Amino acid sequence: ICFVCANYLHAYIINIELYEMGWNLKDGLRDCLVAAAPYGGPIALLKAHNRRSPSARPQLEIFSSSGLPLASFPWKSGVVKQLGWTVSDDLLCVQEDGTLLVYDLLGGFKRHFSMGNEVSQSQVLETKIFHSPYGTGVAILTGALRFTLATNIDDIKLRRLPEVPGLQGAPSCWAVLTQDRQSKVLVANGSHLFVLDNTACTPVTPPGLSPQASSIVHMCVSFSYKYLALLTDSGHVWMGTSNLKEKLSEVDTKIKAPTKQMAWCRRPKSQQPSAVVMWDGLLLVVGECKETIQYHLDDDSILVPELDGVRIISGTHHELLQEVPGACEEIFKIASMAPGALLLEAHKEYEKESQKADEYLREIKEQSLLSEAVRQCVEAAGHEHEPETQKTLLRAASFGKCFLSNFPPEQFVGMCRDLRVLNAVRDYTVGIPLSHTQFKQMTIQVLIDRLVYRKLYPLAIEVCRYLKTPEYQGVSRVLKHWACYKVQQKEESDEVIAKAVSVKLADAAGISYSEIATKAYESGRTELAIKLLEFEPRSGEQVPLLLKMKKSPLALSKAIESGDTDLVYTVVMYLKNELNRGDFFMMLRNQPVALSLYKQFCKHQEQDTLKDLFNQDDDHEELGNFYVKASYKEQRLEARIGHLQSAVDEYYKAKNEFSAKTTEDEMRLLRFQRKLEEEKGEQLVGFSLHDTMTTLLSVGLHKHAEQLYKDFRVPDKRFWWLRLKALAEKEDWEELEKFSKSKKSPIGYLPFVEVCIKHHNKYEARKYVSKVTLEQKVKAHLAVGDVEGAAEAAIERRNESEIGTVLSRCSATTDHLLVERLNRAKATVAKK
């Protein structure tokens, strides 16, 4: 028999000693309120209240699972009825008056809340704290014998459950069940059993409960809420499913003394139901068969149900009781021929350099069970708590692996990693005695959280690095927690902390400095918060906190830096409501981006504010533009002119004489247009000067057009164009000719030719050809279709490109002679 097997004497239950407790308790656990969190969590102790001297303040103490002190402080609040732990390792203290106080693992007060008026009036009789997928819940039995229940203390929704019929005093026992996504209470009143849910109280009977029982004195629900165990006053333990549909077994303990505690001891997927019942000095494991296993307890102990067993904590020791894992049983059973056992043997022989190793191996390989053997060894290693045993098993597995070609390495490698982490956290100084099964259930993220709660930052980071957790889920997260903790340390100066934080967090990915800064701000260190925000690379993240800290100018410039317009808007709108108008404008003035955004907003929403903004800046140019814009939105002429007058004033102030003069001209024009409109009934108001003149000329109001020409210093060229076009439009060729002779045309005479052609009057067009300047002669001739004339002119001017143009217009057949002449001329020109 090897050394490992000693623990396996009792058929299928293994008792592992986890720790010798590091605490030094005077009276052990006697007369104490004790609460130990599952998954190897911390332990809280509170000496029972001394009714006779209520002024004496008991000490509340928190220890790790190995009994190392984590916190200790005198209890100053009311009478505590119950202690318990939340899923995130916070301590819950339920007071008699229905108030719940929440402390963190290191004794820091977090918050408190009440379980409602009804509870505080009728006082708390009994409490149960339970965990479900929805978080940590609390169920309270009040002095009025009613149940009040909250499924999640982080999101309190109190439910008062229906009355239990015939309940005179406290029920003999009760438990909380989570079924069908609902929390229910199972109550025993004597031999009657009831299920309480939101709406009803339903009597139930466990199938096959032995008739001798007159009362159910104890009950417990398994970790998974799937199974239920009942203990009757006749000493029988009934075990079945928690929906009370099926009985698994019933065992007579033959002990009728009052029990202290009962718990399920069962691993997931195990077929064997087994419960642990504890009396004073005695522990009994009951299972499927009639046999029970007994342990003697020297000391007051408590049971802590776990996912895969029960932990037993006494004043001196901490043990884990669990069903022997299948793989371990196969391997360590005496004279086992399981492949894993053979592989272990083979490896042992191999170490001894004995040829027996080969024989064992051969035996396994013949049955082609080698991969099964390796798998068994790896799995068994996971269940072992002793590093030496783990190593032996893993070495055996690794040895076996050598003879397999295609064995996937993940399982082996994963297990080695997991075990390394588990051994580290099981260490006495850390004190988290997690089993591998629990670890897998809880996930690495949660484990890291727990390490962080205990402020074991270096270890947490080591774990993350070792398991190669993605940085922002692992290392960065730990560092963030560390920094949040760091900024609350009052004794250090802002500079030191800021520096320390920045140095540590420098190259970590995905750190949100703003979160850390928020923490600093919350603990009253605004200056530190601002310093920390400087490290935040995303300026967008800085803004909300800066606003909260009333650092609005900084918030505004950060928002602008972020380039996120929405953020700038957020700040601007916040400031608009927060500051008085003057200050607000002043602030915008220094921030052009914010100002232009706000102007955009005002353009659509608050025209007047826009004006005020320009006014404040003495931006007369913009004000002028503003009025001009306003003017053409007006329908009434008076208002229009009014706006323009304001614009003129502003332009003068802006020393923009050009704009001022132009605007004044516009006012004159408008007045002129209206006058004429009234006199002649011609639609004119709003036209440009050019359009006005066109209209006037087209209706024959030459005098008025002439007047505009003089008054507004219209350039001659424009006026000639206008006249020319207007006359051609009316086909008043006689007048046009007269006009052409009135004086020398400032636009030349080519336009005359072209305009006539445009109106298909070649005859008139020809009249002007002769007047065209020499440079434009060719063009003019071509325009009227006189190729010969064009040729003549081109040759005369000896211009090669013009000759070319004319040539391109000649057709070879009809203008044979001309083409020749042109070609000749071209040649001559080219020669020169």
Partner 1 sequence: MAHTERRDAPGLPDFSLLKRLARDQLIFLLEQLPGKKDLFIDADLMSPLDRIANVTILKQHEVDKLYKVELKPIVSSSDQLCFLIRPRIQTVKWISDLVNSDKVAGRFRRYKIIFTPQKFYACETVLEEQGVYGDVTTDEWNFYILPLDDDILSLELPEFFRDNFLEGDQRWVTTAGSALHLLQSVYGSFSKVYGIGRCAKMVYESWRELMEEGEQRTRQPEFAKVFLIDRDVDFVTPLCSQVVYEGLVDDIFRIKCGSVEFGPDVTSSDKSIKVMLNSQDKVFDEIRNEHFSNVFGFLSQKAKNLQTAYDKRRGMDIQQMKAFVADELKGLKQEHRLLSLHIGASESMMKKKTKQDFQELLKTEHSLLEGFEIRECITHIEEHINRQVSMIDSLRLLCLLSITENGLLSKDYKSLKAQYLQSYGIEHLLTFANLRQLGLLEEQQAGETLTVMESKVGKLVTDKTVGKLTDAFSSLAKKSNFRALSKRLALVPKSGEEYDLRVPRDMAYVFSGAYIPLSCKLIEQVMERDGWTGLEEVARMLNGQEFAVTGGCSSSEARNKTDAQRIVLVMFLGGCTYSEISALQFLGKERGCRFIVVTTAITNSARLLEALLDNGASV
Residues that bind partner 1 (CB under 8 A): 538, 540, 557, 560-561, 563-567, 569-570, 573, 592-593, 596-597, 599-601, 604-605, 621, 625, 628-629, 632-633, 658-659, 662-663, 665-666, 686-691, 712, 714-715, 717-718, 721, 725, 747, 754
Q: Of 63 and 709, which CB lies nearer to partner 1 in the complex structure?
A: 709
From 378, 377, 465, 380, select the one nearest 421 (Cα to Cα): 465
Q: Of 485 and 721, which CB lies nearer to partner 1 in the complex structure?
A: 721
**Minimum CB–partner distance for residue 717 and partner 1 (Å):** 6
User: Which CA distances in Å does 132 have to 99, 184, 201, 360, 631?
Assistant: 21, 12, 22, 48, 71
User: Which CA distances in Å does 721 have to 687, 726, 750?
Assistant: 18, 8, 12
**Minimum CB–partner distance for residue 474 and partner 1 (Å):** 16
- Return the residue matching tokens 């029970």: 292
Q: Of 560 and 613, which CB lies nearer to partner 1 in the complex structure?
A: 560
Q: Of 271 and 605, which CB lies nearer to partner 1 in the complex structure?
A: 605
**Minimum CB–partner distance for residue 623 and partner 1 (Å):** 12
Looking at the DSSP assignment, which residues form a beta bridge with residue 283?
278, 295
Q: Of 64 and 692, which CB lies nearer to partner 1 in the complex structure?
A: 692
Q: Of 115 and 755, which CB lies nearer to partner 1 in the complex structure?
A: 755
**Minimum CB–partner distance for residue 545 and partner 1 (Å):** 18
Q: Provide the phi-psi class of 748: left if phi over 0, else alpha when psi is between -120 and 50, else beta.
A: left
**Minimum CB–partner distance for residue 565 and partner 1 (Å):** 4
**Minimum CB–partner distance for residue 739 and partner 1 (Å):** 17
**Minimum CB–partner distance for residue 542 and partner 1 (Å):** 13
Output DSSP code: residue 245.
Answer: S
Q: Provide the phi-psi class of 692: left if phi over 0, else alpha when psi is between -120 and 50, else beta.
A: alpha
Which amino acid is located at 392 in the chain?
A: T
**Minimum CB–partner distance for residue 632 and partner 1 (Å):** 5
**Minimum CB–partner distance for residue 693 and partner 1 (Å):** 9
**Minimum CB–partner distance for residue 397 and partner 1 (Å):** 34
Q: Of 688 and 770, which CB lies nearer to partner 1 in the complex structure?
A: 688
**Minimum CB–partner distance for residue 193 and partner 1 (Å):** 46
**Minimum CB–partner distance for residue 537 and partner 1 (Å):** 8
Q: Which positions ≥6 away from 122 have C-beta within 8 Å?
A: 142, 143, 144, 146
Q: Of 187 and 667, which CB lies nearer to partner 1 in the complex structure?
A: 667
Q: Of 3 and 632, which CB lies nearer to partner 1 in the complex structure?
A: 632
Q: Of 566 and 583, which CB lies nearer to partner 1 in the complex structure?
A: 566
Q: Report the chain's terminal Cα–Cα distance, integer Å.
A: 126
C-alpha of 796 from chain center: 86
Q: Of 403 and 569, which CB lies nearer to partner 1 in the complex structure?
A: 569
3-state secondary structure at position 165: coil
Which amino acid is located at 517 in the chain?
A: A
C-alpha of 260 from chain center: 47
What is d(CA 350, CA 571) in angstroms, rounded to the nearest whole number?
Answer: 74
**Minimum CB–partner distance for residue 625 and partner 1 (Å):** 5
Q: Of 354 and 683, which CB lies nearer to partner 1 in the complex structure?
A: 683
**Minimum CB–partner distance for residue 509 and partner 1 (Å):** 9
DSSP string, 344-372: HHHHHHHHTT-THHHHHHHHHHHTT-HHH
Q: 204-208: which pairs have CB atoms within 8 A and are 24 or more residues apart? A: 204/244, 205/244, 206/230, 206/238, 206/240, 206/244, 206/247, 207/240, 207/244, 207/245, 207/246, 207/247, 208/238, 208/240, 208/247, 208/250
Q: Of 424 and 757, which CB lies nearer to partner 1 in the complex structure?
A: 757
Strand arrangement of the beta sheet that strand 182-189 belongs to: 173-179, 182-189, 192-196, 201-204
Q: Of 248 and 630, which CB lies nearer to partner 1 in the complex structure?
A: 630
What is d(CA 342, CA 671) in angstroms, rounded to the nearest whole number?
Answer: 115
Q: Of 279 and 601, which CB lies nearer to partner 1 in the complex structure?
A: 601
**Minimum CB–partner distance for residue 516 and partner 1 (Å):** 18
Q: Of 433 and 751, which CB lies nearer to partner 1 in the complex structure?
A: 751
DSSP string, 669-723: HHHHHHHHHHHH----TT--HHHHHHHHHHTT-HHHHHHHHHHTT--HHHHHHHH
Instruction: Compute the CA torsion angle 279, 280, 282, 283 (nearest 10 deg).
Output: 40
Q: Of 44 and 696, which CB lies nearer to partner 1 in the complex structure?
A: 696
Using alpha carbons only, how large is the chain's radius of gyration in Å?
Answer: 49
**Minimum CB–partner distance for residue 520 and partner 1 (Å):** 23
Which amino acid is located at 356 in the chain?
A: K
Helix H, strand E, coil C: the string for 782-818 is HHCCCHHHHHHHHHHHCCHHHHHHHHHHCCCCCCHHH
DSSP string, 276-327: EEEETTEEEEE-SSS-EEEEE-SS-EEEEEETTEEEEEESSEEEEEEEPPHH
Q: Of 415 and 787, which CB lies nearer to partner 1 in the complex structure?
A: 787
CB 342, CB 373: distance < 8 Å: yes
Cβ atoms < 10 Å from Cβ of 506: 10
**Minimum CB–partner distance for residue 688 and partner 1 (Å):** 4
Pairing state of beta strands 80-85 and 43-47?
unpaired
**Minimum CB–partner distance for residue 665 and partner 1 (Å):** 8
Cβ atoms < 10 Å from Cβ of 72: 12
CB 387, CB 423: distance < 8 Å: yes
